[in-house]
Amino acid sequence: MTVCTGNICRSPMAEIVLRARFEAAGLGDEVFVDSSGVSDEEHGHGVDRRARAVLAEHGYPTGDGHRARQVVASDLTSHDLVLAMTSAHARALRRLGGDDRVRMYRSFDPAAPTDGPEHLLDVDDPWYGDRSGFETCLAEIESAADAIVAHVRSFV
């Protein structure tokens, strides 16, 4: 499960990319991927229109049918891996009862920093910016996706 703030930009983008990568790796029927947000402010909303546009331009599905939802404590025990988009999300998940299942999404990115504080692995929120923020967000998501697939393959 991927987790961001409102579950309309980063986490559904990551869910869509990961689902495509698991499918390409032959694991589509074995791995369940979903997403949620730490906030309920976007509850029931679809994927942000700018995120949809960037996903479509890069050949991904656009998240038709996605409805934002807030993470609940049972999500942390029903998922083998919970991928936080920022260190603030990771802290919220850990307070909710998360354990070693909570990891920073970009901790799987081979180009990401390996030393230093956890916030250096944040995927910045594109919602407040222009289109370039969504492009950057997708690039960071894609950069970590293959290593996430390899990690999950080790316990599927």
Q: State how far the Cα of 45 lies from the Cα of 129, in Å rounded to an integer.
A: 19
pLDDT band at residue 156, thresholds of 50, 70 and 90? confident
Q: State how beta strands 35-37 and 102-104 pair.
A: unpaired
What integer is the mean pLDDT of 116-142?
96
Q: What is the pLDDT of residue 100?
A: 82
**pLDDT, mean of residues 114-128:** 96
Non-local (6+) Cβ contacts of 106 within 8 A are 112, 121, 122, 123, 140, 143, 144
Q: How far is CA 58 from the centre of its chain?
A: 17
Query: To the nearest whole percent, how much of the chain has pLDDT over 70?
Result: 100
Cβ distance 76 to 43 under 8 Å?
no
Q: Is 65 helix (H, G, I), strand (E, B) or coil?
A: coil
Question: Which residues are identified as catalytic?
Answer: 4, 10, 125
